[in-house]
Amino acid sequence: MELWRKNQLPIFHIKHCSSTPTSLLNETNEGNEFKDIVKPIAGEPIIKKNVNSAFIGTDLKERLDNEKITKLVIVGLTTDHCVSTTTRMAGIFGFDTFLVSDATATFNKIGMDG
């Protein structure tokens, strides 16, 4: 993000806002806040979503189109949910899309076999 900001490249922050009141990602809960390391600064838009894709139910595509943005660099959480879905939809929409694997993560999971 430092490089993007230094070069005045556009940054769009996507915030998952669960509609489930008890979810840690509900806007009323502390878990919904951005971590300091990725906290938006003045002028950087925050797009709120409540499904896996940042394109569904938001104006993200319109904003990208309005700014004539054709290349996307995607980072974030969680790799196998929001990041994956948003990245695939970006490709479907025709964006030249790059996923930075060193800047994505997910949570430990237990498989069906334990």
> In this structure, are residues 53 and 89 in contact, taking their beta carbons and an 8 Å threshold?
yes
Does the pLDDT of residue 46 top 90, yes or no? Answer: yes
The residue with tokens 């196998």 is 80
The mean pLDDT of the chain is 96
Three-state SS string over 24-42 comes to: CCCCCCHHHCCCHHHCCCC
CB atoms under 10 Å from CB of 71, counted, come to 11
Give pLDDT tens digits for 71-112.
Answer: 999 999 999 999 999 999 999 999 999 999 999 999 898 889
pTM assigned to the model: 0.91
